[in-house]
Structure 1
Amino acid sequence: MTVDVTTAVLEAVGAHGPASRRPLTGGTYNTVTRVTFDDGRDWVVKIPPAHATGLSYEQRLLVNEVTFYEAAAGGPVPQVVHSELDPGAPTGAYVVMTARPGLPWSAVTDGLTGDENRSLRAEFGAAVGRLHGVAGPGGYGYPAEPLGPLAPTWREAFTAMTDAVLADAERFDARLPWPVGRIHEVLAGASDVLDEVTRPVLVHFDLWQGNLLVAGEAGARRIGGIVDGERMFWGDPVADLVSTSLFGDPETDVDFLAGYAAATGSPLVFTPSVHRRLALCRSYLYLIMLTETVPRGAGPEAVEATWNAVAPRLVAALDALGQPPSGRGSSGKGLRRGAASDG
């Protein structure tokens, strides 16, 4: 009899006879199963695809995820129970973690009141502020080191990240709104602003509402969990603002900003420098979103929807970077204390 991979993982960690198993959907990359036991244990088993053609940075992603949960311990994140990070192990790579309460924010948003939304945005901002108070090990980039060792500067790490996704776009013949060479030129021309980042912090980089769990009864809802930390890196805290209000303007997210300031002790200041760093990080995410549709085999409708949503925003971010920075002499470094570029 063939033993499915989740059962094999549970057997490997000595967890036999779960009371129930339920696949968790919504992701596009891993096999994720919620497993409960009669003794009250409530786990999530996450298993990456055994053989996948992905983007260059999508190697040993569970290393990033485990690093994120361990670095963010004490916050609303899962606790790692067991992990195997070697894809060559008999079970393959996997992580077993505690389940967090709640449902994805994206699944309950229609039922939230205005007061609940404001409260949740403030709580979310505070949680992100605390993440940005976690300093990295001294280098910048992905802990799994898919693009090489952690870099000594944020500019070097970010350049390697954007170079890799542009090479992926060429390799997969992904549709981009501008030629790869022109995009590379614009990103390189604006990269000097990244030298203002001198302290690598914990960046989730995938903080859209599908990765935020909302728990509690109507009228008393709270953030139950921040999950799916596999895209994390050590870098610029500004990078997280790309997805905290995905496709929106983080500068107008007043409740989030208030929570962030309360957690860090100082407000986020959107200087011209921060705006340019934000445009660079937006460009990186949008390049990923357009390119990954090819190796993931997205259908025509999904590809078109992604193009319509993302391509104009990538052009806007690149256009912003192509403009001379305004007020550069008085820009400051923008993010202070836990989210500070200068520590």
Structure 2
Amino acid sequence: MEFRSIERAPGAFQQPVTAGQIHAMCRRAFGASVSAVSAVELGNGMYNSTYRVDLGSGLPVILRVAPEPARQFRIERELMRNEHASVPYLAPIAPLMPRTLAIDFTHEIIGRDYLFQTMLDGVPAPDGLGAYPRPEWASFFRRMGTIARDIHAVRGRRFGPVNGPAFTTWSEAVIASLDDTAADLDDVGLDATDVRELAAAADRHRAVLDEITEPRLLHGDLWTVNVMIEPGAPEPTISGVFDCDRTSWGDPESDWTIFMAGRRPGTERDAFWETYGSRSSTPGAAWRALLYRARHLAAVRLERHRLGNSEAVPDTYDDLRDVLALLTA
């Protein structure tokens, strides 16, 4: 078997698997007579270890292998299982998603969750968008707005990650996520004082958070890095959506997609709102938007540390301090 793995430092978060393990995973998933012809690790993702595997007949498949349980943060625990649980609720965008071919959570072959999926056609959006003049990107963001709207239209019964834990109120879910983020920051030796101040502010304003009474499905990570576009199309056209492992039930305004769409007003991203719809402008919505922004900044701090981007970690303290001042004014 041709086997290509990305060279990483011994202490890097993403750890490879061996050629022998891939052979064993393929045999379990597809039968004892199936052997992989090649396995090439892909470098686009930043959490799971992902391989394009050629089984010798038909199209290649994608193998995703989760980090070892001990390496997972509280706010990122068992994301692959969360994605698996969310698939039925992502039915509105099913034609855009890869199909799960096999999945194994037993840890009998390797002490990590893994799954095989169909390989999506297209080009990763970060690579393909540059082929189009920026004004033409508006069509891409209009389609992104439609996808986000369709996901957010799905209703749930409880708040929190799709695979649990579940919470009766939105405030409980938000505060629990902030407490977990603070504990994760403690574990890696980063100061979490501002995140605990954020959790305290959320606790004082539970009534504002609990104006959200109906859980809606949130993708959690829908943006350009998790989207494929059709190669050679007259305009940038979304052909696939992947890595749906951070799904949860909550306030659509808190979704990562909404945060990213609103970051650069006056650019082609404004086309997102043409299809998604307008945002709420009530005082409660304005306060919650600040809290959600701060919560994203706290999660970004943790991710930057995980990725070894230590130079960018201090920026999150400055940004979060500014948001906290507005929240507590």
Identify the residue that residue 3 of structure 2 maps to in structure 1: none
> What SS does the corresponding residue of 2:160 show, helix, strand or coil?
coil
Note if 1:200 corresponds to 2:200. Answer: no
Note the C-alpha offset of 1:171.
2.9
1:71-110 CA distances to partner (integer Å, 9 max, x unpaired)?
Answer: 2132422222221234x34344112122222222222333
Note the C-alpha offset of 1:160.
0.8
Which of the residues 268, 273, 280 maps onto 2:279?
268
> What SS does the corresponding residue of 1:197 show, helix, strand or coil?
coil
Note if 1:117 corresponds to 2:137. Answer: yes
Structure 2 unaligned segments of length 5 or more: list them: 1-17
Note if 1:143 corresponds to 2:171. Answer: no
Counting only pairs closer than 5 Å after superposition, residues 325-336 of structure 1 correspond to structure 2 as: none
Runs of 4+ in 1 over 6 A off after TM superposition: none
1:141-196 CA distances to partner (integer Å, 9 max, x unpaired)?
Answer: 11333xxx3111111111111111112222322145x5454333233233422112
Highest RCO, 1 vs 2 (Cα 8 Å, sep ≥ 6): 1
> What SS does the corresponding residue of 2:295 show, helix, strand or coil?
helix
Identify the residue that residue 98 of structure 1 maps to in structure 2: 118
Structure 2 CA distance for partners of 1:182 and 1:83, relative to 1, 3 Å? same
On the 8 A contact 2:39/2:53 being kept in 1, the answer is yes
Which of the residues 305, 310, 328 maps onto 1:322?
328
Identify the residue that residue 69 of structure 1 maps to in structure 2: 87
On the 8 A contact 1:69/1:77 being kept in 2, the answer is no
For residue 320 of structure 1, what is the amino acid of its counterpart? Answer: L
1:247-291 CA distances to partner (integer Å, 9 max, x unpaired)?
Answer: 445999431111223xxxxx4334332222222222222112213
On the 8 A contact 2:69/2:77 being kept in 1, the answer is no
Distance, in Å, in 2 between the alignment partners of 1:194 and 1:251 is: 30
> What SS does the corresponding residue of 1:96 show, helix, strand or coil?
strand
Counting only pairs closer than 5 Å after superposition, residues 78-227 of structure 1 correspond to structure 2 as: 78-86=98-106, 88-91=107-110, 92-136=112-156, 138-145=157-164, 149-175=165-191, 179-227=194-242
Distance, in Å, in 1 between the alignment partners of 2:266 and 2:290 is: 12
Which of the residues 35, 55, 60 maps onto 1:17?
35
- Of stretches 157-166 and 73-82 in structure 1, the one that deviates more from structure 2 is 73-82
Structure 1 unaligned segments of length 5 or more: list them: 262-266, 324-343
- Of stretches 150-159 and 19-28 in structure 1, the one that deviates more from structure 2 is 19-28
Distance, in Å, in 2 between the alignment partners of 1:155 and 1:13 is: 41
Distance, in Å, in 2 between the alignment partners of 1:246 and 1:213 is: 21
Distance, in Å, in 2 between the alignment partners of 1:70 and 1:321 is: 37
1:48-80 CA distances to partner (integer Å, 9 max, x unpaired)?
Answer: 123543321222111111233332132422222
Aligned length: 307
Distance, in Å, in 2 between the alignment partners of 1:79 and 1:244 is: 27
The share of aligned pairs that are identical, in percent, is 25
Distance, in Å, in 1 between the alignment partners of 2:243 and 2:188 is: 25
On the 8 A contact 2:43/2:50 being kept in 1, the answer is yes
For residue 199 of structure 1, what is the amino acid of its counterpart? Answer: E
Structure 2 CA distance for partners of 1:220 and 1:321, relative to 1, 3 Å? same
Note if 1:238 corresponds to 2:253. Answer: yes
On the 8 A contact 1:112/1:218 being kept in 2, the answer is no
Note the C-alpha offset of 1:118.
0.7
Distance, in Å, in 2 between the alignment partners of 1:179 and 1:289 is: 14
- Of stretches 125-134 and 225-234 in structure 1, the one that deviates more from structure 2 is 225-234
> What SS does the corresponding residue of 1:10 show, helix, strand or coil?
helix
> What SS does the corresponding residue of 1:196 show, helix, strand or coil?
coil
On the 8 A contact 1:242/1:282 being kept in 2, the answer is no
TM-score normalised by structure 2 residue count: 0.82
On the 8 A contact 1:162/1:284 being kept in 2, the answer is yes
Distance, in Å, in 1 between the alignment partners of 2:37 and 2:144 is: 33
